[in-house]
Amino acid sequence: MGLADPGKTLTELRRGTVSFCVLALLGERERYAVEIVGDLASSGALASSQGTIYPLLRRLREEGLVETTWEKSSSGPPRRYYRLTSLGKSELVTFREEWERYRNAVDDLLFKGAA
Partner 1 sequence: MSGERFIDEVALPHVPDADGVVARRFLHDVAVQASHLPASERRSLVADLVDHIDDAFASPWPGPIPVTIHHVLDELGSPNEIVDSATAWSSAPSGSPGGSERGPSDDGRGDPSREESLLASSNGATYDAFALGALTVGFFVIPTIGWLVGLVLVWLGPRWSTAEKVLATVLWPVTVALPIICATLLPDPLANPVALVVLAVVLLAWWPYVVVRLVRASALSGRLLGSARTTRPGRRGPEEQAA
Binding site for partner 1 (CB under 8 A): 12, 15-17, 19-20, 33-34, 37, 41, 48-59, 61-65, 69-73, 75-80, 87
Of the pair 9, 16, the CB lying nearest partner 1 is at 16
Minimum Å gap between C-beta 80 and partner 1 is 7
Of the pair 20, 25, the CB lying nearest partner 1 is at 20
Minimum Å gap between C-beta 114 and partner 1 is 29
Minimum Å gap between C-beta 17 and partner 1 is 8
Minimum Å gap between C-beta 109 and partner 1 is 22
Q: 3-state SS of the chain?
A: CCCCCHHHHHHHHHHHHHHHHHHHHHHHCCEEHHHHHHHHHHHCCCCCCHHHHHHHHHHHHHCCCEEEEEECCCCCCCEEEEEECHHHHHHHHHHHHHHHHHHHHHHHHHHCCCC
Q: Which amino acid is at 21?
A: C
Of the pair 87, 93, the CB lying nearest partner 1 is at 87
Nearest alpha-carbon partner for 21 in 52, 8, 72: 52
Of the pair 2, 113, the CB lying nearest partner 1 is at 2
